[in-house]
Amino acid sequence: MAKVSKVAAFFDLDKTIIATSTSAAFTRPLYDGGLVTKGEVARTALAHAHYILTGADAENTERLRKQLSELATGWDVAKVKEIVADSTEAKIDPQVYKEAMQLIAEHHELGHDVVIISASVDELVEPIARLLGADHYVATKMSIEDGKYTGEISFYAYGEAKAEAIRDLAQEYDYDLAHSYAYSDSVTDTPMLDAVGYGTVVNPDRALRKLAVEHGWNQLTFANPITLRSSLEKHVAGIPDRVAAAREKIETIPEIVAGIPKRVSNVREVVREKTEAIPIVTKDQIEPKDRNNAKKSAAIAAAGIAVAGAAIAAASRQRDQREEKQARVRD
C-alpha cells in the first residue's frame, strides 16, 4: 500500500498569530525579574513601536535580533525560562488574533499538523507554541555556556533558514509540502511562503501585497485580538452540540440497517427473475451468432449474484459498526 503523506500548516508568530512581537511582550516580566534596566525597557519599547509601525522588513528584524542578543548576554537560562513560564499566559493571552486561532482550529480539524516557525528565541516561543496547541515549533537558538547566554546565535530562524527548517521537518514527519500551507505578515518570509503549495500573507503592506499577486498567494486580514482563554471556552462550549449531532446520526443507523434485509431480498428476487429468464438450451441449439448473447446473459446473472453477496456483507458490517458506536457513546 502506498504511504500517505501528511499536510502541515506553518505559522509565523509575531504579528501573524499574536498582535505584537514576542520579545516586546516579555520585556516587562524580564524587567520585574531584574534582567533588564529601565533604560533597556525604554529602548525595547521604542524599537517595538518602530517595528509595529513600519513592519517586519529585513532591517527591522535584524535590529531586533541584534538588540536581543546583546541584551541577553550573561542571562541565566533557567531564570529566563522561569520568568517566561510565569508570564506567558498573562502577556500573550490577550494578544492572540481571533482569525489565527480559527485557522489553527480548522487545520487541526482537517488532521493537519500545526507548526509555529518564529525568529524569536526558543525559550520565548516554546511556551507560546504549547499554549496555542501547536504540534511542533521552530525558533532561534542562542548559544549557552555554563547555563548562561553567550550573546551568540547558533541558529537564526529567519529568511531562507525558515524554508530550510520547513524542508527538514517535511523529511522528518513526511509532510507533503505541495499540499501544505504557510502564513506570514513579513516580506522576509518569502522563502517560507514559497516552500509550500498554499502561501498566505497576513495584513500585508504594499510591498507584500505586490509579492502576493506575483506569487499567487492568498491575502488575509487579521484585526481582532482576543484572549486565548475566550477562544478555548467558546470551542468547549460548542462540544455538547457537536456530540448531540453525532448521537442523532448514530440513532438513524438502526433504521438504515433495518431496511437492509428488504433491499437484499429485492436484489435476490431480481437475480432470481433474471436467472429464470435465461432459457435452457443445448450447445447444438445455439447459433454461433447467438452465443455471445448467451455469454452476456450469464455475465449479468453472475453480476447480480455478486451484488447480492456484497449487500449481505455490507449489512453485517454496518450492524457491527452500529453496535461498536453505541458502545462508545454509552461509555
For 134-200, give the secondary structure using H, E and C: CCEEEEEEEEEECCEEEEEEEECCCCHHHHHHHHHHHHHHCECHHHCEEEECCHHHHHHHHCCCEEE
CATH number for the domain harbouring residue 213: 3.40.50.1000
pLDDT score recorded for residue 205: 85
Cell of 189: 518570509
| Domain-embedded: residue 187 | yes
| Domain-embedded: residue 1 | no
Residue with C-alpha cell 447444438? 284
Mean pLDDT of 29-45: 74
Residue range 236-285, pLDDT digits in tens: 455 455 545 545 655 666 666 666 777 767 767 766 776 666 666 555 55
| Domain-embedded: residue 3 | no
Domain count, the chain: 2
Q: What is the mean pLDDT of the chain?
A: 78
Task: Let me know whether 45 and 181 are in one domain.
Answer: yes
Task: Let me know whether 294 and 258 are in one domain.
Answer: yes
pLDDT score recorded for residue 255: 66
Mean pLDDT of 54-61: 59
Task: Let me know whether 148 and 40 are in one domain.
Answer: yes
Q: HSE of 324 in the Cβ direction (CA atoms, 13 Å)?
A: 6
Among residues 187, 210, 237, which one ends one of the domains?
A: 237
Q: Is 125:27 a contact under the CB 8 Å cutoff? A: no
The region, left, alpha or beta by phi > 0 then psi within -120 to 50, assigned to residue 12 is beta
> In the 8-state DSSP scheme, what is residue 74?
T
Task: Let me know whether 216 and 94 are in one domain.
Answer: yes
Mean pLDDT of 70-74: 82
Q: Which of 166, 153, 178, 56 is nearest to 117 (CA)?
A: 166
Question: How long a stretch of residues is the chain?
Answer: 331
Cell of 329: 457513546
What contacts 52, CB < 8 A, 6 or more positions away?
Answer: 15, 20, 21
> In the 8-state DSSP scheme, what is residue 5?
P
Task: Let me know whether 46 and 194 are in one domain.
Answer: yes
Q: Is the pLDDT reported for residue 63 higher than 70?
A: no
Q: What is the CA radius of gyration of the chain?
A: 31
Q: Which domain holds residue 303?
A: 243-330
Q: Is the pLDDT reported for residue 174 higher than 90?
A: yes
Task: Let me know whether 132 and 70 are in one domain.
Answer: yes
Mean pLDDT of 71-99: 84
Task: Let me know whether 171 and 278 are in one domain.
Answer: no
Q: Is the pLDDT reported for residue 221 higher than 70?
A: yes
Task: Let me know whether 201 and 224 are in one domain.
Answer: yes
Question: If pLDDT is split at 50, 70 and 90, which confidence band does 329 have?
Answer: very low
Task: Let me know whether 167 and 262 are in one domain.
Answer: no
Task: Let me know whether 228 and 320 are in one domain.
Answer: no
| Domain-embedded: residue 319 | yes
**195 against 232, higher pLDDT:** 195
Cell of 28: 516587562
Q: Residue 182: beta bridge partners?
A: 10, 199
Catalytic residue list: 12, 14
pLDDT score recorded for residue 266: 74
Q: Is 133:232 a contact under the CB 8 Å cutoff? A: no
Q: Is the pLDDT reported for residue 144 higher than 90?
A: yes
Task: Let me know whether 44 and 87 are in one domain.
Answer: yes
Task: Let me know whether 308 and 181 are in one domain.
Answer: no
| Domain-embedded: residue 97 | yes
Among residues 211, 237, 263, which one ends one of the domains?
A: 237
Among residues 197, 213, 237, which one ends one of the domains?
A: 237
